[in-house]
């Protein structure tokens, strides 16, 4: 009788072991095919590198513009005195710049990450404007980090394409402000709203720009504060632009 009870238990263990072996074999095949790195299964942080991105805009100061495309490891970003800038922003109202975290499991991102790990002691990696665009032009939607990186990719694309394709940037910023739900993405909201408003004004879409400002005000009421909330200068910028838009719109409607 004892043997009859032990046999099913032994079969259960064997099936479980066989299942793990199948999963491990599949994982090895994915590594060999270049779809994932061997470290991916062990890394649960969700972020393996950060890219500093500023808008493709002539009004960005020289220091901030020169810092566009700098890439950092999370361990570097976690340091107390860390700054993504190569110096101090030269404008009284700081330039818009966003430090964006990526898991980066697609081919182009893996190449950047591997290069960063090799050169971290030599000053890290600094991508050109073309290389930043190439990073988000890769087949990121087909890789295992697609959902993890989706918002970050749209934000990088929006910032990097303002001169190249303004419509791509507008749609990217709209996607970010509409889809941000997780805490880790909250820091993208304010720069996305600010740049969206500015691009809509530049495109002559005053009604849409005014709507974006009103959404911004509703989302960030002046009575509240937080790490991801706008600075006073950013609030003043939106308030001033709202007043200008509201003053100009009746004139356009009457014309």
Once rounded to an integer, what is the mean pLDDT over residues 43-53? 81
Q: What is the pLDDT of residue 37?
A: 44
Once rounded to an integer, what is the mean pLDDT over residues 60-89? 94
What's the whole-model pTM score?
A: 0.80
Answer with the residue of higher pLDDT: 168 or 124. Answer: 168
Q: What is the pLDDT of residue 18?
A: 74
Once rounded to an integer, what is the mean pLDDT over residues 169-174? 98
Q: What is the pLDDT of residue 44?
A: 42
214-240 per-position pLDDT tens digit = 999 999 998 888 889 999 999 999 999
- Spell out the SS3 assignment of the chain: CHHHHHHHHHHHHHHHHHHHHHHHHHHHHHHHCCCCCCCHHHCCCCCCEEEEECCCCCCCCHHHHHHCCEEECHHHHCCCCCCCCCCCCCCCCCCCCEEEEECCCCHHHHHHHHHHHHHHHHCCEECCHHHHHHHHCCCHHHCCCHHHHHHHHHHHHHHHCCCCCHHHHHHHHHHHHHHCCCHHHHHHHHHHHHHHHHHHHHCCCHHHHHHHHHHHHHHCCCCCCCCCCCCHHHHHHHHHHHHHHHHHHHHHHHC
Q: What is the pLDDT of residue 172?
A: 98
Q: What is the pLDDT of residue 225?
A: 83
Mean pLDDT score across all residues of the chain: 86
Q: What is the pLDDT of residue 227?
A: 87
Longest Cα–Cα distance in the chain: 96
């Amino acid at each position: 009788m004892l043997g009859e009870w032990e046999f099913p238990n032994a079969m259960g263990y064997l099936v479980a072991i066989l299942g793990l072996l199948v999963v491990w074999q599949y994982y090895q095949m994915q590594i060999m095919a270049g779809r994932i790195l061997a470290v991916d299964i062990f890394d649960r942080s969700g972020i393996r590198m950060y890219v500093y991105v500023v808008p493709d805009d002539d009004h960005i100061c020289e220091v901030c513009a020169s810092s566009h495309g700098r890439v950092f490891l999370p361990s570097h970003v976690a340091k107390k005195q860390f700054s993504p800038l190569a110096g101090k922003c030269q404008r009284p109202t700081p330039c818009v710049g966003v430090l964006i975290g990526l898991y980066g499991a697609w081919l182009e991102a893996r190449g950047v990450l591997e290069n960063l790990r090799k050169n971290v002691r030599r000053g890290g990696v600094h991508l050109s404007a073309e290389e930043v665009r190439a990073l988000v032009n890769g087949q990121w939607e087909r890789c295992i980090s697609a959902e993890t990186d989706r918002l970050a990719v749209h934000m990088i694309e929006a910032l990097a394409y303002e001169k190249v394709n303004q419509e791509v940037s507008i749609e990217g910023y709209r996607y970010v402000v509409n889809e941000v739900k997780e805490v880790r993405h909250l820091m993208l909201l304010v720069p996305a709203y600010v740049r969206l408003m500015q691009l809509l004004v530049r495109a002559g879409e005053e009604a849409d720009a005014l709507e974006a400002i009103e959404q911004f005000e509703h989302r960030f009421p002046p009575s509240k504060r937080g790490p991801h909330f706008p600075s006073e200068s950013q609030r003043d910028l939106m308030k001033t632009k709202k007043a200008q838009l509201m003053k100009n719109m009746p004139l356009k409607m009457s014309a």
